[in-house]
Chain A
Amino acid sequence: MTQLTTAPAPAAPPEPPDTRPSRRRPGALGVLTALISIPALCVVGLLALVGYLGFRVQGSPDGAFTLGNYRALFGNAQVWDVVQNTVVYVGVTLVVALFFGTAIALLVERTDFGWERTIGTIMVLRLLIPGFFTAMGWIFLFHPRIGAINQWAMDGLGLASAPINIVSLVGMGVVEGLALSALVFTMVSSGLRSLDGSLEEAARASGARPWTVLRRVTLPLIYPSLLGAGLFAGTIAISSLDIPLIMGLSNRIYVFSSYLYVATNPSAGQPEYGVPAAFSAVMILLALGFSLWYQRTLRAGRKYQVVSGKGYRPARVRLGRWRWAAWLLVGGYVLWSIVLPMLMVVWISLLPFVQKPSAAAMNVVSLDNYANLDWSFVGRGLTTSIKLMVLAPTLAVLMSLAFAFVVVRSRSRGRFVYDLVAFLPQAVPSTVFAFGAMIAALYWTQGWYGLYGTLTLLVVVTALIQLAFGTRMFNAGLLQIHTELEEAAAMSGASTWTAVRRITLPLLRPVVTYTWLWLALLSLRDLTVPTLIGGQDTLTLSVASWTLFNTGQVGASSALTLLMIGLMTPVVVLFLLLTRKNEGKAIS
């Protein structure tokens, strides 16, 4: 983040903050506060609706009151299985993500491993790779029947059955964990970077060995970052639909998100909304509980925080003869989490049917899958994806700017409420929002204002979910803009709006550009919300690719996924060029 204030730290002790507040622009902020109450009510309303539906027969808004949905959640063996599955899946995801993310962050930030920039960029790319893409890659590697490595192992070692079954609960967790370790990496490394290095150097000067410093000083101090990363990763694991759909659906291993999808989109019979609503309500409660815990940890952490002011980093630990182990970790991660799955998808996209790489297979390699793609189908997906990718981030950025202005610049008590509301879409799985919005549109909008299955609904829900990220970015951005820069404009005779237009927005522009691009990329890769909102209008490229995969057209699906990656590439390059100086900033 660029330093936006121009002044060095004041030499004089600052006045106590209480003596400097003001209600100087009730006009502008009042208008904004009124405007943002609409999205705020949407966020809260959707969650309240889900809670309400949990107590209605069949989850229909006009159904009778019942506790049956909750009884089914904990009593019905099938549903209870889903609950247990979700716990195992999230548990494995977190262990994998926290281990790889933290280990690589420590290597980059605290040892002389090097490659800081490259690894940062790789991790940003990893965040952007669609989950179903790696899921497909891993299936082609480790599926018990069609997985190339399993086949080689069985042939080479003469095994009767496949040694590794990736389409299992643990397998899903590992794949999701490898994806989310990039998120943990960015959050933990920014935590490490903001840590005052002298705390660790003091421990070393007291005679502690590097491992002891890590265990006794570094890790306890970045505990809030770890907790935040864990909670964030956990929420994403629960909400994301891609890996559970691709890896779990065919052998009926359901977790929360895929259960929600299957229950509301049954292949036969009535859709069931009641139990999913009850399940979602439990998720909302868990999310709120964890968020409170996180907030309390942050507040407790602030008590001990030593502000160094400068980006001071402790002397790096020399890896010495352990360098090979570090290379094994980082190289292994990149190879297994990115390179091999990607190569497998490319390979499969060139074949008429799935088979392991071999000389015989080389003979049937062709571009047929690309040539034979149903281009009208792809074209529809492409149009929707581009519309979504432009509209959702734009709406999200506008709303987030308004939220951030109210939260950071107003002095009213209400601003804490808005801050909390803007945080909800991050804490609560996005699946729950999509589910609530789908029901609300289904029951309460018809005719000319019918929203069910429309692009409008998809854009609005996506933007509401992105509100959390946008507001967090703009809050931080606004906090960096010293209020005196705005006050100086007022002193120069500029009205509030002129000051915002001429001073604040130009200063925020780098953050706005960054946020918009990032959200655009996330909109493009998302499978969860478009699938759940479900409809003809919402067929994005991700949904198209999943539809092909689900109907057995694996080669075509691979080809389409690669086309989508190709579409993302220019935006990614632009994003990386704009943020060259601070890759690690993503997400955290």
Chain B
Amino acid sequence: MTGTPLAVHGLRKGFADRGTTVQAIDDVGFDVREGEIYTLLGPSGCGKTSTLRAVAGLERPDEGRIVIDGTVVTETGCFVPPERRDIGMVFQSYGIWPHMNVFENAAFPLKVGRAKVPKKEVRQRVESALAAVHLAGYEGRMATQLSGGQQQRLALARALVRRPKLLLLDEPLSNLDAKLRQAMRAELATLQQELGVTTLFVTHDQDEALSMSSRIAVMQAGRIVQEGTPRDVYQRPATRFVADFVGTTNFLDGTCAAGGRVETTVGAFDVAGDGGRAGADVVLAVRPESVRLHTDEPVGTPNVVKGEVERVMFVGECVDCHVRVGDAVWVTRQDPGLAARSGDGVWLELPADRISVIA
């Protein structure tokens, strides 16, 4: 029987905490499509890991239904234990067994599974899995002699050796140093694409989520608050929380006026689309890199507001120029060649199509 690789509906899970119940997962539902990387993104404690562990079967949800490839694995009165689910998982700490060598680690799923795999096939499959993660030749090495990045790849090989329908990744990159993390991001995404394995990915790192995912679900307090492609989530955040959590954002409270304009305390702005019902309170969100900075007052350009440079921070590939506008300080991202200094008067231009209107 086939179907969506993973369908989750109405998932709930509460934990008793000093008398009260904390809702760790609060009515979470999503469908993962064949071959995609679906990411649960959110701050720690938002319920993303609990959701992943419920899918894995490491945690029993209070309510809800989980279907993996057409097979119901969790439903009221039905719970398939983790070892009988068609999944592979990479843990945050990798979970590489220190008392086994590389080959034994990767071969373990084939040896303990219910379907007996002949020895010869075990060898072949382990070798090809290790080759896929560039660990060919390391078979006899003790697992503890591997570097962090190698352990991570071994964990991936182990998760894939059974050719599972679904791959679960629980913050697999968070234990690597920054440089290696960058490299592994690309490697992981490439490998996933080559194998075409459907993947559920949990992370709190927005860069990881944006760069690797097919679709992202942003979670907050046990709920999914926005689901969409990385571009959607970044450029059109649905809530203030999403805008704030994913990337840096300047916020501006305002009121909708007629003709796609929004009135704010520092002036009125044109926004793309109709801008919402007149009189409604909205929040405008603008990414730092969307703000154009002028050292001379531009003529005839709409959506310009005057400010004063507070601080210019050089961060390498660009400068973060903090500009005071009214009571607020805006963060803008500019070319490192920017000549402005603290105290200079500048004009900020907010292009209408780069402003998100959050109701």
Which residues of A approach B to under 8 Å, CB–CB? 4-8, 10-16, 18-24, 482, 484-485, 487-495, 498, 502-503, 506-507
Contact = CB atoms under 8 A, between A and B. Distances in A.
A492 B112 contact: yes
A284 B158 CA distance: 53
A482 B93 contact: yes
A483 to B, nearest CB: 9
B295 interface: no
A7 B93 contact: yes
A21 B144 CA distance: 27
B112 A10 contact: no
Given A24-B81, A491-B82, A10 B174 contact: yes
Contacts of A6: 93-94, 96, 98, 143-144, 151
B144 A22 contact: no
A541 to B, nearest CB: 37
A154 B93 CA distance: 71
Contacts of A24: 57-60, 81-82
Interface string B86-103: 011101111111110000
Given A24-B57, A485-B96, A507-B97, 12 more contacts: A16-B44, A24-B59, A24-B60, A24-B81, A24-B82, A482-B93, A484-B94, A487-B56, A488-B91, A490-B58, A491-B87, A494-B108
B238 to A, nearest CB: 24
Contacts of B99: 506-507
B17 interface: yes
B83 interface: yes
Interface stretch (B47-55, B317-325, B340-348): B47-55
B175 A484 contact: no
18 contacts: A5-B93, A7-B148, A8-B148, A10-B92, A10-B175, A11-B175, A12-B92, A12-B204, A19-B49, A22-B58, A482-B95, A487-B95, A488-B97, A488-B155, A490-B57, A490-B58, A491-B56, A506-B99
A12 B108 contact: no
Contacts, number: 133
Nearest to B146: A6
Contact of A493 (B58, B109, B151, B175): B109
B59 A493 contact: no
A15 B47 CA distance: 9
Nearest to B181: A11
Contacts of A14: 44
A492 B144 contact: no
Contacts of B171: 12
A494 B83 contact: yes
Given A15-B44, A18-B22, A490 B92 contact: no
A10 B89 CA distance: 18
Contacts of A16: 44-45
B241 interface: no
B53 A22 contact: yes
Interface size on B, as a range, is 35 or more
Contact of B50 (A5, A19, A487): A19
A495 B205 CA distance: 33
A491 B93 contact: no
B3 interface: no
B15 interface: yes
A502 B97 CA distance: 10
Contacts of B143: 6
Interface in B223-261: none
B112 A4 contact: no
B60 A488 contact: no
Given A20-B49, A490-B82, A4 B44 contact: no
Given A6-B144, A19-B50, A24-B82, A11 B174 contact: yes
Contacts of B114: 493
A492 B158 contact: yes
Contacts of A19: 15, 24, 45, 47, 49-50
Contacts of B53: 20, 22
A26 to B, nearest CB: 10
A495 B56 CA distance: 14
Interface string B162-193: 10000010010011000000000000000000
A493 B155 CA distance: 15
| 7 closest residue pairs by CB, A with B | A488-B95, A7-B93, A492-B109, A493-B113, A484-B95, A494-B112, A491-B89
A493 B97 contact: no
B48 to A, nearest CB: 9
A21 B15 contact: yes
Contacts of A482: 93, 95
Between B45, B58, B109, B174, the greatest number of chain A beta carbons within 10 A of the residue's beta carbon is seen for B58
A12 B49 CA distance: 13
A15 B50 CA distance: 10
A7 B87 CA distance: 22
Contacts of A23: 60
A25 to B, nearest CB: 8
Given A22-B58, A22-B60, A488 B112 contact: no
B159 interface: yes
Contacts of A503: 97
B82 A20 contact: no
Interface in B115-146: 143-144
A507 B82 CA distance: 22
A19 B21 CA distance: 11
Contacts of B162: 492-493
A482 B95 CA distance: 8
B97 A10 contact: no
A490 B60 CA distance: 14
A493 B89 CA distance: 11
A495 to B, nearest CB: 6
Nearest to A12: B174
A11 B203 CA distance: 12
B82 A13 contact: no
B143 to A, nearest CB: 7
A8 B60 contact: no
A12 B94 contact: no
Contacts of A485: 95-97
Interface in B10-30: 15, 17, 22, 24
Nearest to B106: A492
A493 B109 CA distance: 6
Contacts of B109: 491-493
A12 to B, nearest CB: 4
A8 B152 CA distance: 12
A18 B58 contact: no
Contacts of A489: 97, 108, 112
Nearest to B104: A502
Contacts of A502: 108, 112
Contacts of B88: 491
B81 A488 contact: no
Contacts of B144: 6
A484 B92 contact: yes
A507 B95 CA distance: 13
Nearest to B89: A491
A488 B172 CA distance: 13
Contacts of B174: 10-12
B86 to A, nearest CB: 9
A511 to B, nearest CB: 13
B249 to A, nearest CB: 22
Contacts of B44: 12-16
A301 B96 CA distance: 34
A7 B92 CA distance: 9
Contacts of B148: 7-8
A11 B92 CA distance: 10
Contact of B175 (A8, A20, A487, A506): A8
A494 B113 CA distance: 6
A488 B168 CA distance: 11
A571 to B, nearest CB: 25
A408 B88 CA distance: 26
B91 A487 contact: yes
Nearest to B112: A494
B93 A10 contact: yes
A492 B108 contact: yes
